[in-house]
Structure 1
Amino acid sequence: MGIYHSTRSRSLAYTAKEAIRRGIAPDGGLFVSDELGDVQVPLDGLADKGYLELAREVLGALLTDYSADEIAACVTEAYEGTFASDEVTPVVALDGSGISSDGAPASVLELWHGPTSAFKDVALQMLPRLMARTSADDEGAAEKIMIVTATSGDTGKAALAGFADAPGCGITVFYPEGKVSRVQELQMSTQEGGNVSVCAVRGNFDDAQSAVKRIFGDAALAGRLAAEGVQLSSANSINVGRLVPQVVYYFAAYAQLLRAGSIAAGDAVEFCVPTGNFGDILAGYYAKRLGLPVAKLIVASDANNVLYDFLTTGTYDRERPFFTTTSPSMDILVSSNLERMLYYLSDGDCELVADLMGKLASEGSYTLPAGLLARIQELFGCGWASEDEVAAAIKDCWDACGYLIDPHTACGYHVMREAPAAEGARARVLLSTASPYKFPRVVAESLGLTCPDDDFACMDVLERATGTCAPAQLAELQEKPVLHDAVVGVDDMGAFVEAAAAKL
Structure 2
Amino acid sequence: MDYISTRDSGHRVSAAQAIVSGLSPDGGLFLPESLPQFSLSEIETMAKTGYAGRAVAVLSRFLTDFSEDELREYVSRAYAPEKFPPKAVAPVVPLDENAHILELFHGPTCAFKDFALQLLPFLLTASLRKTGCDKTVVILVATSGDTGKAALEGFADVPGAKICVFYPDGGTSNIQRLQMTTQAGENVMVFAAEGNFDDAQNGVKRIFTDRAYAEELAGKGYILSSANSINWGRLVPQIAYYFSAYCELLNAGRIKPGDPVNVVVPTGNFGNILAAYFAKHCGLPVGKLVCASNRNNVLTDFITTGTYDRNRGFYVTTSPSMDILISSNLERLLYLLCGRDDKVLRGYMEALAKTGKYTVGPDVLAKLQSEFAAGCADDAATAAAIRDVYRETGYLCDTHTAVAVNVYRDYAAKTGDRTPTVIASTASPFKFANSVLPAAFGRAADGGDFALLAKLAELSGQPAPRALAGLQDKTERFTAKVEPAKMKEAVSGWLGL
Q: TM-score range by the shorter chain?
A: over 0.9
Task: Report if the CA contact (8 A) 2:16-2:130 is conserved.
Answer: no
2:68: which partner in 1?
Answer: 68
* Rounded Cα–Cα distance in structure 2 between residues aligned with 1:425 and 1:266: 16
Q: Residue 365 of structure 1: which of 338, 357, 368 is its match?
A: 357
Cα-to-partner distance string for 1:410-445 (whole Å, 9 max, x where unaligned): 100101111218787641111000000000010001
Shift of 1:181: 0.3
* CA 39–45 in structure 1, closer or farther in 2 if over 3 Å, else same: closer
Match of 2:427 among 431, 434, 441: 434
2:26 alignment counterpart = 27
Q: What residue number does 2:483 align with?
A: 489
* Residues matched between the structures, number: 493
Question: What are the residue-to-residue correspondences of 1:38-57 with 2, within 5 Å?
Answer: 38=37, 42-57=42-57
* Greater Cα shift, 308-317 or 417-426: 417-426
Structure 2: give runs of 5+ residues left out of the alignment. Answer: none
Give the alignment's TM-score, normalised by structure 2.
0.97
8 Å Cα contact 1:93/1:108 also seen in 2: yes
Cα deviation, 1:429-465, whole Å, max 9, x if unaligned, reads: 1100000000001000112113323111111111111
Matched, 1:91 2:92: yes
| 1:77-121 deviation per Cα after TM superposition (whole angstroms, max 9, x unaligned) | 1112221352311001113xxxx4xxxx11100000000000000
- For the residues of structure 2 that align with 1:172 and 1:40, how far apart are their CA atoms? 41
Query: What is the CA distance between 1:329 and its match in structure 2?
Result: 0.2
> How far apart, CA to CA, are the structure 2 residues paired with 1:502 and 1:53?
43
Q: Find the counterpart in structure 2 of residue 114 from structure 1.
A: 107
Whether the aligned pair in 2 keeps the contact of 1:43 and 1:266 (CA below 8 Å) is no
Separation of aligned partners in 2, 1:465 and 1:395: 13
Where 1:44 maps in the other structure, the secondary structure is helix
Q: Where in structure 1 are there 5+ consecutive unaligned residues? A: none
| Structure 1 match to 2:450 | 456
In the other structure, the counterpart of 2:200 is 208
Q: Which residue of 220, 239, 243 corresponds with 1:247?
A: 239
Q: One-letter code of the match for 1:261?
A: G
What is the Cα deviation at residue 290 of structure 1?
A: 1.4
Between the aligned partners of 1:85 and 1:361, the Cα distance in structure 2 is 45
Amino acid aligned to 1:128: P
d(CA) in 2 for partners of 1:93, 1:395: 17
In structure 1, what is the equivalent of residue 157 of structure 2?
165
In structure 1, distance between residues paired with 2:49 and 2:303: 35
| Residue 352 in structure 1 maps to residue 338 in structure 2 | no
Q: Distance in 1 between matches of 2:495 and 2:5?
A: 26
AA in 2 matched with 1:348: R
Q: Which residue type is aligned with residue 132 of structure 1?
A: T
2:309 maps to which residue?
317
Q: Give the corresponding residue for 2:126.
A: 133
Structure 1: distance between partners of 2:418 and 2:491: 47
Query: Helix, strand or coil: the match of 1:172?
Result: strand
Q: Mark the CA change 1:65 to 1:423 in structure 2 (over 3 Å): closer, same or farther.
A: farther
- Write the distance in 2 (CA, Å) between the matches of 1:269 and 1:45: 18
Q: Does structure 2 conserve the Cα–Cα contact (< 8 Å) formed by 1:128 and 1:166? A: yes
In 1, Cα distance between equivalents of 2:200 and 2:494: 17
Aligned match of 2:7:
8
Deviates more, 1:38-47 or 1:472-481: 38-47
Secondary structure of the corresponding residue to residue 134 of structure 1? helix
CA contact (8 A) 1:40 1:61 kept: no
Give the Cα separation in 1 of the matches to 2:416 and 2:6: 31
Distance verdict in 2 for CA 1:40–1:6, change over 3 Å: farther
**Paired amino acid for 1:37:** P
**Using the alignment, how far apart are the partners of 2:294 and 2:69 within structure 1?**
42
> Which residue in the other structure is 1:380 paired with?
372
- State the Cα deviation string for residues 113-135 of structure 1 (Å, max 9, x = none): 00000000001001111011112
